[in-house]
């Protein structure tokens, strides 16, 4: 067992049963790069304020750069029986450069070190998740383009509501993922504050230029209160929330396509490469990847709940409970990353069956358009709704559709009906009649698709 960073005060070695329980190195090794980054900057700050000699500062820098290089060459080397990644890096440094390495921790606490590491980590990893989100939005836009003028029913209460363009439906998911993209940016912005200089809780006794240190590490500001900083994990919770909500959106997308690729709907065809078979039933083509995306949403939400509960009972200041922040953060990130990739893969190879969606978009779901037809001819909407409700009731009883009515039949319900009702009551006429920019009218959807493409381009530049 390596010597601990705090062994001086203790007469006996720690009980392995109690100590091993508190070890975080197996998972916080993921902060290795960030720990080195933070320490490089801290050493510079110590030199700048005269707390560390230039020679020691140089030795520490060279030592840390060597450690970073070794870790990059051989990630498996970042392992051992150290308590945490901070202890590992410091032990390696002392092994390389001796006493100078023992001066690095001057004026610094692991409480702020773990906070700065996690903030640096999130700020470099969030853009990777955002790139995966953009790739998914791109596929949705490509599929929307390919869908062209194809029509499908929309649903409320999972009952057919009104016809929409398939492209409009696909872009509805893109809209949610773009909010997730923004929410992750907000999480990165929240993590954008330097906690170093807070010491263990009361601040440090060295005149560290924290503004310069913040700038050196790419932070735009410094935390405002050292006591708050030592236990603030709000930025971690915000990140886990952003991941959870993105997983909720992925889960809903997955659920939609599980339904719509089923025999019952048959709106889209799942590619063979995106499906799995049954070990017993030869006919089966199961949407396992989509089901797993839906299932993993539960895990992400569990992490959010768990982290909030870890935080809620803590007295002011750092508490070891906070070590429980890292696994939810890392696993939320991993879960979202693999789910975005899987969802994109499935959507890329999905085929629309436009003849099936067109048929499903016709029929009694055009009732609102019939009511609007009457309103356009002066009938108050409530009355129009009543009249059309009566037509629907009769058609249902006869197992018929609007298309089965002749002009005389229409006029039996209201003298306001004329021959042109036949053209007015089609799914094409229905979508064309929408007027607002957020609607499914073909012009609005074309504009929305163009705007999505512009957004994607602006994110890449
Ligand atoms: N491994 C610890 C964590 O993840 C680092 C901070 C430890 N600080 C302390 N005072 N025990 O939170």
461, pLDDT greater than 80: no
Nearest to residue 213, comparing CAs of 411, 37, 434? 37
Query: Could you say which of 12, 157, 279, 458 is catalytic?
Result: 157
Nearest to residue 371, comparing CAs of 345, 402, 399, 409? 402
Q: Is 278 a catalytic residue?
A: yes
3-state secondary structure of 21: helix
E strand or H helix at 163:
strand 159-165
Q: How far is the CA of 200 from the centre of ligand 1 (A)?
A: 10
388, pLDDT greater than 60: yes
Q: How far is the CA of 22 from the centre of ligand 1 (A)?
A: 9
Pocket test for ligand 1, best of 87, 108, 110 (most atoms within 8 A of CB): 110
Pocket test for ligand 1, best of 88, 89, 111 (most atoms within 8 A of CB): 111
Sequence-distant (≥ 6) Cβ neighbours of residue 114 within 8 angstroms: 28, 31, 84, 86, 322, 323
Sign of the C-alpha dihedral computed for residues 219, 190, 249 and 288 taken in this order: positive
For residues 205 and 7, give the distance between their C-alpha atoms in angstroms, rounded to a whole number: 23
For residues 413 and 415, give the distance between their C-alpha atoms in angstroms, rounded to a whole number: 7
The alpha carbons of the chain give a radius of gyration, in whole angstroms, of 30
Report pLDDT digits (tens) over 147-205.
999 999 999 999 999 999 999 999 999 999 999 999 999 999 999 999 999 999 999 99
3-state secondary structure of 438: coil
Residue nearest to atom 10 of ligand 1 (CA): 111
2, pLDDT greater than 80: no
Q: What is the DSSP letter of 276?
A: B
Residues with CB under 6 A from ligand 1: 24, 28, 84, 110-111, 114, 318, 320, 322-323
CB 32 within 8 A of CB 78: yes
Q: pLDDT confidence of 141, banded at 50, 70, 90?
A: very high
Average pLDDT score, the chain: 95
Pocket test for ligand 1, best of 7, 14, 21, 24 (most atoms within 8 A of CB): 24
Ligand 1 atom with the smallest distance to the CA of 24 is: 1
For residues 418 and 398, give the distance between their C-alpha atoms in angstroms, rounded to a whole number: 22
Q: How far is the CA of 112 from the centre of ligand 1 (A)?
A: 9
């Amino acid at each position: 067992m390596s010597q601990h960073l705090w062994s001086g005060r203790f007469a006996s070695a720690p009980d392995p049963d109690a100590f091993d329980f508190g070890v975080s190195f197996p998972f916080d090794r993921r902060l290795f790069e960030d720990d080195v980054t933070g320490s490089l900057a801290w050493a510079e700050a110590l030199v700048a304020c005269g707390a560390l000699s230039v020679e020691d500062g140089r030795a520490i820098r060279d030592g840390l750069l060597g450690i970073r290089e070794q870790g990059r060459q051989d990630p498996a080397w970042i392992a051992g029986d150290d308590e945490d990644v901070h202890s590992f890096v410091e032990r390696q440094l002392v092994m390389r450069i001796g006493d100078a390495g023992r001066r690095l921790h001057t004026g610094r606490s692991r409480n702020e070190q773990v906070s700065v590491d996690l903030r640096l980590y999130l700020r470099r990893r969030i853009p990777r998740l955002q790139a995966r989100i953009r790739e998914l939005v791109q596929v949705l836009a490509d599929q929307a383009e390919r869908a062209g003028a194809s029509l499908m029913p929309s649903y409320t209460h999972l009952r057919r509501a009104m016809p929409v363009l398939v492209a409009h439906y696909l872009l509805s998911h893109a809209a949610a993922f773009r909010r997730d993209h923004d929410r992750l940016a907000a999480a990165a912005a929240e993590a954008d504050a330097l906690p170093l200089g807070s010491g263990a809780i009361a601040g440090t006794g060295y005149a560290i230029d924290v503004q310069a240190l913040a700038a050196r590490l790419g932070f735009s500001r410094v935390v405002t209160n050292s006591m708050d900083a030592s236990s603030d994990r709000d930025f971690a919770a915000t990140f886990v929330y952003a991941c959870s909500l993105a997983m909720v959106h992925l889960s809903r997308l997955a659920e939609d396509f599980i339904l719509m690729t089923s025999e019952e709907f048959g709106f889209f065809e799942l590619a063979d490469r995106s499906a799995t078979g049954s070990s017993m039933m030869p006919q089966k083509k199961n949407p396992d990847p989509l089901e797993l995306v839906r299932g993993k949403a539960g895990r992400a939400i569990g992490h959010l709940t768990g982290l909030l509960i870890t935080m809620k009972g803590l007295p002011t200041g750092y508490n070891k409970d906070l070590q429980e922040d890292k696994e939810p953060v890392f696993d939320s990130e991993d879960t979202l990353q693999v789910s975005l990739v899987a969802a994109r893969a499935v959507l890329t190879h999905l085929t629309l069956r436009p003849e099936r969606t067109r048929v499903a978009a016709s029929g009694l779901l055009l009732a609102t358009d019939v009511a609007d037809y009457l309103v356009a001819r002066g009938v108050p909407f409530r009355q129009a709704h009543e009249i059309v409700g009566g037509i629907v009731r009769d058609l249902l009883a006869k197992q018929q559709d609007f298309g089965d009515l002749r002009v005389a039949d229409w006029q039996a319900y209201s003298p306001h009906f004329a021959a042109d009702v036949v053209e007015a009551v089609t799914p094409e006429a229905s979508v064309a009649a929408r007027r607002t920019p957020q609607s499914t009218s073909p012009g609005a959807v074309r504009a929305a698709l163009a705007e999505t493409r512009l957004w994607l381009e602006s994110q890449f530049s």
